[in-house]
Amino acid sequence: MTYCLAIKVNKGLVFASDSRTNAGVDYVTTYGKMHRFVWPGDRVCILLSAGSLATTQAAVNLINKDLEEGDDAEFNLRQAKHLYEIAHYVGKLVQREQRLHEKAVEKSNISVEARFIVGGQIAGREPEIYLVYPQGNYISASSETPYLQIGENKYGKPILDRIITQDTSPEDAARCALVSLDSTMRSNISVGPPMELAIYAADSLEEPRHMSLKLASPFYKTLQKRWNEGLKRAFNRLPRFDWEENK
């Protein structure tokens, strides 16, 4: 499995992903799931992928091929006038790739489905994030639910629901994304390090700040330690039952 999420706040976008891929529990490998396409001053597009690695790699290959073909391509990331066109395009690539293997897949009871998060900004437009379903359709985040998740999304959802609003700073949103990933990694072995993080400042149209955090990274270790200590402190301040001493 996988866990990726994107958060849209007033001052920017945050993208975070784990790096664990597995074909059953006896074949576990590490693959980045964040793909960045940046043309400074013109457009920034970040993709996060979950699901069949064969399908997501094929889709990214097709995206790169269409970019190489330039204006000869039917469509590519540079031709898009709106970010939703990119979401639509990614959905089409995923559908095309899934259909190629449909019959073989039916026989072996395997899923080749893939999901993508597509986010970024095109000059003159607002920053946006989209979730692209395996069926090729897509949704964007709303002001009330300013985040999107793919993969193992349940473990890390409560902290997002408690912390994230539109007014959250991109840095706070990034810290929350890391806590959300950390909680998921602790509870589900199909999600694992390193964690990739990208923070895009709204209207910058520049390469987002990017980092890859291993378990041993000092920043990540400090974050884990302080979060655990903070949770335990919060826990110790919960109200006592009426039969307990030291109410």
Contact status: 99 vs a copy of itself (CB under 8 A) = no
Contact status: 1 vs a copy of itself (CB under 8 A) = no
Question: CA of 98: how far to CAs of 48, 52, 129, 183, 200, in Å?
Answer: 18, 9, 23, 31, 31
Q: Is residue 46 a contact partner of residue 15, using CB atoms and an 8 Å limit?
A: yes
Between 202 and 223, whose beta carbon lies closer to a copy of itself?
Answer: 223
Between 73 and 201, whose beta carbon lies closer to a copy of itself?
Answer: 201
Between 167 and 229, whose beta carbon lies closer to a copy of itself?
Answer: 229
Q: How many residues bind a copy of itself (CB under 8 A)?
A: 42
Four-residue CA torsion sign, 184, 187, 191, 196? positive
Shortest CB 237 distance to a copy of itself, Å: 5
> Which is nearest to 149 in space by CA: 191, 93, 99?
191
| Neighbour count for residue 97 (Cβ, 10 Å) | 20
d(CA 121, CA 34): 16
d(CA 211, CA 34): 11
Q: Give the CA count within 13 Å in the CB-facing half-sphere of 27.
A: 3
Report H helices in the chain. 53-69, 83-100, 102-108, 157-163, 170-187, 218-236
Contact status: 240 vs a copy of itself (CB under 8 A) = yes
Between 67 and 201, whose beta carbon lies closer to a copy of itself?
Answer: 201
Contact status: 28 vs a copy of itself (CB under 8 A) = no
Q: For the segment 169-198, give every residue that binds a copy of itself (CB under 8 A).
A: 171-172, 174-176, 179, 183-184, 186-188
Which of 163, 166, 190, 212 binds a copy of itself (CB under 8 A)? It is 163
Contact status: 243 vs a copy of itself (CB under 8 A) = yes
Contact status: 234 vs a copy of itself (CB under 8 A) = yes
d(CA 52, CA 230): 37
Shortest CB 190 distance to a copy of itself, Å: 12
Which residues contribute to the site for a copy of itself (CB under 8 A)?
A: 152, 154-159, 161-163, 171-172, 174-176, 179, 183-184, 186-188, 209, 219, 222-223, 226-235, 237-241, 243-244
